[in-house]
Amino acid sequence: MDTNYKNHLGRIIKQQRISLPLTLQELAAKSNVSASHLGRIERGERFPSAHILQRIAKPLGFEEDELFTLAGYLSPQSPMVSEQSPAYSGDRLDPYVARILAQEPLEIQRAVIGILAILQSIAKSKS
Amino acid sequence: MDTNYKNHLGRIIKQQRISLPLTLQELAAKSNVSASHLGRIERGERFPSAHILQRIAKPLGFEEDELFTLAGYLSPQSPMVSEQSPAYSGDRLDPYVARILAQEPLEIQRAVIGILAILQSIAKSKS
DNA sequence: ATTATATTTCGCCAATTGGCATATGTCAAT
DNA sequence: ATTGACATATGCCAATTGGCGAAATATAAT
């Protein structure tokens, strides 16, 4: 069972791995980290050390500092998202979220927003 | 042991601590890392984990990513401050979608991605 | 010198990591 | 169904981390 709330990192890693797509063994081969360990990390039974994160970052398509930030090892100090569009200024869009969504075609991106709006209206009607 | 090999980091940390100046105990108090552990790190008997590095970075006057790089956890190439992430380069994230999502708290952003993943798996199972 | 006091190092130990080997699914084709 | 091939999960274990308290060493003051 998808246990705790606390396992953000494992879910992110797994999702990224699946989306490539890679099996645990393939990722293990590319990163020199045992598949069993990777599996435990994904389901939150182990917490990856910095060395492990460094090894799996590029094979997963992450920048090293990005993964470190997601793991909570690096504070999200990055001004990355505050690029061109001044519309971003106040609020922050999570780099990981942006990366996943950017892979989707435009209509999917918009559909996601639409679903979000529906869920919000539902939540609002209950309060 | 390798008393002079990878102990690069220990020397840097000790030198920085002395130059401030701080005692091991003072640094321990500021960083919530035991003085004994800090001492062993400085003389290369222990290798600091990412959590420890994160705790001692600011008290020592380092930037977090700076210390991580010195520790060999982060590759020297630091494009963080430059500008946009290369991860976005291939695919595009619609500015409108980005603006809407950026207004939501982080957990909502992540939840949206999670829902997207579920829908994708459902769609996949039908094809 | 001889205390007193601060600072560093050491001995021990619980907790965690991460690998290897093995077990348990999962799914296709025969 | 049975087999075989692959993917993921588990059992076990060596190695490391990091804290606490005590010993050792340095520093200061009388």
Asked if residue B42 lies in contact with residue B10, where contact means CB atoms within 8 angstroms, the answer is: yes
Integer angstrom CA distances of residue B19 from A46, A72, B16: 38, 29, 5
Q: Residue B60: which of B84, B86, B80, B33 has the closest Cα?
A: B33
- Whether residue B124 is predicted with pLDDT greater than 90 in this model: the reply is no
pLDDT tens digits, residue range B63-111? Answer: 898 899 989 999 876 444 434 444 434 567 776 667 677 777 777 777 7
- Torsion (CA) A67, A72, A73, A78 in degrees, nearest 10: 70
pLDDT tens digits, residue range A41-53? Answer: 999 999 999 999 9
Model pTM score: 0.73
> How many of the other CB atoms lie within 10 Å of CB of B116?
20
Asked if residue A61 lies in contact with residue B42, where contact means CB atoms within 8 angstroms, the answer is: no
The torsion angles phi and psi of A48, rounded to 5 degrees, stand at -65, 135
Which residues, 6 or more positions from B9, have their beta carbon under 8 angstroms from its beta carbon? Answer: B41, B48, B70, B71, B72
Supply the pLDDT for residue A82. 39
Distance A39 CA to D15 C1' (A): 21
- For B106, the closest chain A residue by CA position comes to A94
CATH topology of domain B3-126: 434 Repressor (Amino-terminal Domain) (1.10.260)
List CB contacts (< 8 A) between B81 and chain A. 79
pLDDT tens digits, residue range A98-125? Answer: 777 877 777 777 777 777 776 766 655 5
How many residues are present in chain B? 127
List CB contacts (< 8 A) between B114 and chain A. 11
